[in-house]
Amino acid sequence: MPAGGFTGYTGGHHYPGKITWSVIIACCVASSGGLIFGYDIGISGGVTSMDSFLSKFFPSVYHLEENSASTSQYCKFDSQLLTLFTSSLYLAALVASFVAATVTRKYGRNSSMFVGGLTFLVGAVINGVALNVFMLILGRVLLGIGVGFCNQSVPVYLSEMAPAKHRGTLNIAFQLMVTIGILVANLINYGTAQIPGGWGWRLSLGLAAVPAAIITIGSVLLPDTPNSLVERGKADQAKRILSKIRGVPDVHAEFEEIVAACDEARSIERPWSNILRKKYRPQLTISALIPLFQQLTGINVIMFYAPVLFKTIGFGDNASLLSAVITGLINVGATVISIILVDRAGRRILFLEGGIQMLICQVFVGALIYVQFGVSGIGTASKSLAALLLVFICGYVAAFAWSWGPLGWLVPSEIFPLEIRSAGQSITVSMNMLFTFAIGQAFLSMLCHMKFGLFFFFAGWVIIMTLFVAFFVPETKNVPIEEMMLVWNNHWFWSRFLSEEDIHVGNRYSNSHV
Ligand code: BGC
């Protein structure tokens, strides 16, 4: 088990740890799950900055943009309907992830991936052939249901298929695929925007069908996880699959652990009210606040609206899309750096460095925009100023991508004890979707009203979250997950929520892992 990885369970070392073909194929399916999520994040900003798309579906925004010399730069894209196009997906994903939790548990991980992939496929097609705003938003809602189902089931599928000692790496590999999805979307937008005839956006939206088809077909062909099969009473099949994916005939010990873990989980009658108990206050707080803070970094302002933002600060159409490609590349590269550093340097140092770097860059971006557009928002940026802005935006994206990006998912996933792990994970996913929705919906209007101050608004949040990490998030690197109680017990603040009998490590849980 890599230090402080997905489960952190050091006892896993006596199991076969090699990565077999079955596991590699499982990774490919998971990858298309990450790609789906990332593709959605990256595609809508580019599409909403294409004139042909705007004039067809959002003529009033198009009109404002056309006359932008006399309109405040800050407000030219302000339209609730336009933002609903982007953010409706996350609201649908939020609702769907709760339904998916039940499907994943009762009918298996594959079933959720299948439902997700198929819904997503239909959504992509509807968007590609859309004739009106209703079809556009309906398509986005279906995509959202797809994302909800896939984001709920794929990480669980991955962590159960992976040998314990590769779980941490796989967790961030999922985020890496998200960033690759965003980059691919930006590249595709850059290409389709050049298509004469103004139908390029149809290709951008319709191509989402490719990763959707991979996951739909993959979910039919791949076996379900041994854990899910045991959970659903198919023990014989589970043992066969386990032996296949571990590549050895004798998997008795690991199989027994899965059975024990299932029994343990079944004995918890109400994981949802269980999680409210005082001793879980540290985990509950952190699992809810980390996704909230992750979104309050303002990252999705860049991810959703980079081309719109670049246009706002005076870049031409192509320069805007190209700049989005540049930020996309930085996002992928910095995530790789995080994969390398997370188990060596630790989570806290990445969080703290990332926070400080984001803060500095945001302050510069806000100040530069103020210098150029002032409060009125009239004018265009000079070439050199625009280049400087791009540099600071890249510095900000890099900082996010090696800190809050991957850690926003990794840290909540590794702090829960077994008995509340799945309930806790749902809280993290749903909080993330809720605030992704809120930021997506509010951004263009916030830009219009808060102007350059928006960047100081997010900078303020970055100060708060960095202080929160400094004081309240303990280092989890190298800590086996079933020993996590000791971390809280040694913490200056969180220890007050634990009593003597809560601090048991070993017997009861040391023999089980998810
Ligand atoms: C976040 C997304 C964000 C992405 C950027 C993810 O960790 O959850 O909201 O768009 O990182 O790479």
What is 220-266 written as a DSSP string? HHSPPPHHHHHHTT-HHHHHHHHHHHHTSS--HHHHHHHHHHHHHHH
Indicate which atom in ligand 1 lies nearest the CA of residue 405. 7
How far does the centroid of ligand 1 lie from the alpha carbon of residue 242, in Å? 32
The two structure tokens encoding residue 129: 């052939």
The two structure tokens encoding residue 350: 């990445």
Q: How confident is the model at residue 12 (pLDDT cuts 50, 70, 90)?
A: very low
| Statement: residue 11 has pLDDT above 60 | no
**Distances in Å between the alpha carbon of 19 and those of 6, 225, 244, 246, 513?**
16, 15, 11, 7, 19
User: What is the residue with the minimal CA distance to atom 6 of ligand 1?
Assistant: 405
Is 7 close to ligand 1, i.e. is its CB under 6 Å away? Answer: no
Question: 3-12, 258-267, 383-392: which has the minimum mean pLDDT?
Answer: 3-12
Does 126 or 320 have the greater pLDDT score? 126
232-243 in b/e form (b: 16+ CB < 10 A) is: bebeeebbebbb
pLDDT of residue 17: 63
Contact 35, 190 (CB under 8 A): no
- Cβ atoms within 10 A of the Cβ of 353, count? 16
435-460 in b/e form (b: 16+ CB < 10 A) is: bbbbbbbbbbebbbeebbbbbeebbe
DSSP E strands, 278-372: none
Indicate which atom in ligand 1 lies nearest the CA of residue 291. 8
pLDDT of residue 15: 59
pLDDT of residue 134: 92
Q: Which long-range contacts (CB under 8 A, 24 or more apart) does 217-223 make?
A: 217/117, 218/25, 218/28, 218/29, 218/32, 218/113, 218/117, 219/29, 219/110, 219/111, 219/113, 219/114, 219/117, 220/110, 220/114, 222/25, 222/26, 222/29, 222/110, 223/22, 223/110
How far does the centroid of ligand 1 lie from the alpha carbon of residue 450, in Å? 23
Region of 314 (left: φ > 0; alpha: ψ -120 to 50; beta: rest) is left
| Statement: residue 250 has pLDDT above 80 | yes
Is 408 close to ligand 1, i.e. is its CB under 6 Å away? Answer: yes
Residue 63: which residues within 8 A CB-CB, separation 6 or more?
none
| Statement: residue 4 has pLDDT above 50 | no
Q: How confident is the model at residue 420 (pLDDT cuts 50, 70, 90)?
A: confident
Indicate which atom in ligand 1 lies nearest the CA of residue 404. 7
pLDDT of residue 129: 95
**What would the mean pLDDT of 309-328 be, rounded to a whole number?**
79
- For the segment 42-61, what is each residue's pLDDT rounded down to a tens digit? 888 778 878 888 888 888 77
Q: How confident is the model at residue 504 (pLDDT cuts 50, 70, 90)?
A: low
Indicate which atom in ligand 1 lies nearest the CA of residue 295. 9
Contact 396, 405 (CB under 8 A): no
Is 192 close to ligand 1, i.e. is its CB under 6 Å away? Answer: no
| Overall residue count recorded for the chain in this entry | 514
pTM of the model: 0.83
Does 447 or 439 have the greater pLDDT score? 439
Is 476 close to ligand 1, i.e. is its CB under 6 Å away? Answer: no
Is 407 close to ligand 1, i.e. is its CB under 6 Å away? Answer: no
**Distances in Å between the alpha carbon of 404 and those of 7, 169, 213, 340, 410?**
19, 16, 30, 15, 9
Contact 395, 357 (CB under 8 A): yes
The two structure tokens encoding residue 447: 């830009």
CA-CA distance, 475 to 269, in Å (whole number)? 31
Q: How confident is the model at residue 187 (pLDDT cuts 50, 70, 90)?
A: very high
Is 429 close to ligand 1, i.e. is its CB under 6 Å away? Answer: no
Nearest to 436, CA basis, from 283, 305, 284, 285: 305
Residue with tokens 């571990």: 246
